[in-house]
Amino acid sequence: MSPTFPHRTASPSVAGSPRVGILALQGDVREHERVLRSLGAEVVSIRRPDELLAVDGLVLPGGESTVIDKLARGFGVAEPLSRAIAAGLPVYGTCAGLILLADRLEDGIEGQRTFGGLDVTVRRNAFGGQVESFEASVAVPTFGGPPVDAAFIRAPLVVSTGPGVEVLAELDDGGIVAVRQGNAIGTAFHPEVSGERRFHELFLSLVRAA
């Protein structure tokens, strides 16, 4: 039987460090792990439903959203993960992770599902394939300071948002590439690849507040 999530049961780790899980089915898990550890978090890999009960927050890494979706269902973690997010588990998704957090998806493959958590519509591969990957400086007003160095790798794009969604960053043409809603943050790009830590800091602030 899959666990339910009326209350999360994670406990603080040594010295009060937040315990953060990374969905480790496919994608750039190590890059996120490196950033989170540098910020003082304890990091564990998540592959099974019961492992969700032992974390204070969760990262959905970049990778291939269709593969992560299929593996999450195959490992029996998809539905428990969706329930955990709905119950308030702080979550941060980059690129494929943003796709998986979207309540609505454009240009997905037949039968593709998402976990939900962000009242947005996301277009998969919005900028084209691998050869259309690019880097850009993206202003994030909530951070202040210099713009974010953002790596867009077969990146998605947020094409519409619900009323409760805060837009954190846009491209020069107005394309939405970072959003937040309650306990969930999503970015279309990979700050973990470019050495940018401020989105992970924002995520950890949600984890600590929860």
Q: How many C-beta neighbours within 10 Å does residue 102 have?
A: 28
Return the residue matching tokens 């602030």.
205
Please say if 135 is a catalytic residue: no
Please say if 166 is a catalytic residue: no
Please say if 192 is a catalytic residue: yes
Q: Give the angle subtended at the CA of 24 by the CAs of 81 and 49, to the nearest 5°.
A: 35
Which DSSP symbol is given to 171?
-
Q: Which residues pair with 42 in a beta bridge?
A: 19
Nearest CA to 118 out of 168, 76, 56 is that of 168
Q: Which of the residues 32, 95, 196, 200 is marked catalytic?
A: 95
Residue 11's SS3 state is coil
Q: Which residues pair with 23 in a beta bridge?
A: 46
Q: Which of the residues 32, 190, 196, 200 is marked catalytic?
A: 190
Q: How far apart are CA 37 and CA 46, in angstroms?
A: 16
End-to-end distance of the chain based on CA atoms, in angstroms? 27
Q: Which of the residues 33, 192, 196, 200 is marked catalytic?
A: 192
Q: Which residues are the active-site residues? A: 95, 190, 192
